[in-house]
Amino acid sequence: MLANPIVGTLLCLSGIYAAALWPGTGFAFMAGFGMIFAILFASEAVRKISKYGLGTGVPSVGMFSIGIGCVISLYSLSLNSIWGPAVCAVLALIIGWVSGFLINKVLHMNIPSMEKRMSEMAVGSTLAMTASAIVIGGTLDSGFILQNFIGVGVAALGFIGCSLAIFHAFNANLGPDEAADRTRTLAILDGFLVMFVLGIVSFLSGDVVGPLVTIFISIVFILLTSYRYWTYIQRDAWKITSTGLLPGEEDLN
């Protein structure tokens, strides 16, 4: 149910607003949870569209969605308004649908539900990138974001981190034995890894409490999700064997 786009959007927006409206940076990690909900439903859309066989690999669709997401999220962050994240979700829905329609009809991709999945991916990556900006300082103030998210280059980290988290899950698990719960668990694990790195770089803004809370929570969830992912791998694999070390030079002679 958490992978549903509407539920995911609402949960992500509530995470962003909880982090942004709470005074101080102690609640900034809530935006990190919002980012993970957005990544979860965007990677679910990648999973559904990539099964048709795009011919260009799974990463291409992730890079397209984060390209749109980066443009819209930076626009919404520049508004310096409390309505920024909500406006950017609506804009991403429209632009994602239009680009999906153009790609499907003008380029003759002829993939059913292309428009729907493109708009889901655009909304997911836009909200993920917006949330990654809020994790840094727990505020929607454009001046702060320009200095501490864009100016120091953390926006590039949010860009590539969110895109990796969105397309990596399906790219790593694709194949005839692909299981939805395993793919989703990997997407969540990738999201927490991005949140951990964002927690480290948010020390750059001069704050201590917010980053420490973010890092502590992300480490706890990285351990829990890795364990869950490992149990899914053991469930789905026919056999797990150790290959041993590479043979040394004297063993070969």
Partner 1 sequence: MIESTIETILFSIFGASDPAFVFFLLLLVTLGGILITLSVHLIPVGGAPAAMAQATGVGTGTTQLAAGSGLSGLLVAVAVSVETQNMFLGIILGGIGAAVMISLVMLMSNIGYIYGIGVPPASGKAVRDPITNDRQDIYVSKGTEGHGVPTASFISGIFGGFLGGAGGSLIYEALIRTTQVSSALFIVLAVILSIALFFINAVIASYNIGGTIEGFYDEKFKKLARSVVVSAAVTFICGALCLLTFINFGGFI
61 vs 188, beta carbon nearer partner 1: 61
Q: How far is the CB of 46 from partner 1 (least distance, A)?
A: 13
Q: How far is the CB of 20 from partner 1 (least distance, A)?
A: 17
134 vs 188, beta carbon nearer partner 1: 134
108 vs 239, beta carbon nearer partner 1: 108
Measured in whole angstroms, how far is the alpha carbon of residue 222 from the centre of its chain? 15
26 vs 67, beta carbon nearer partner 1: 67
Distances (CA, A) of 245 to 234, 242, 248, 251: 22, 9, 9, 12
Q: Name the DSSP class of 202.
A: G
Q: Per the structure block, which two tokens stand in for 54?
A: 């795009």
Q: Per the structure block, which two tokens stand in for 208?
A: 């201590």
Applying CB under 8 A, the residues found at the interface with partner 1 are 54-57, 59-61, 63-64, 66-68, 70-72, 74-75, 78-80, 91, 95, 98-99, 102-103, 106-109, 142-143, 146-147, 150-151, 153, 155-156, 159
Q: How far is the CB of 199 from partner 1 (least distance, A)?
A: 21
Q: How far is the CB of 77 from partner 1 (least distance, A)?
A: 8
- The runs of H, that is alpha helices, within the chain are 5-21, 29-50, 58-78, 84-105, 114-137, 142-145, 154-173, 180-201, 209-236, 249-252
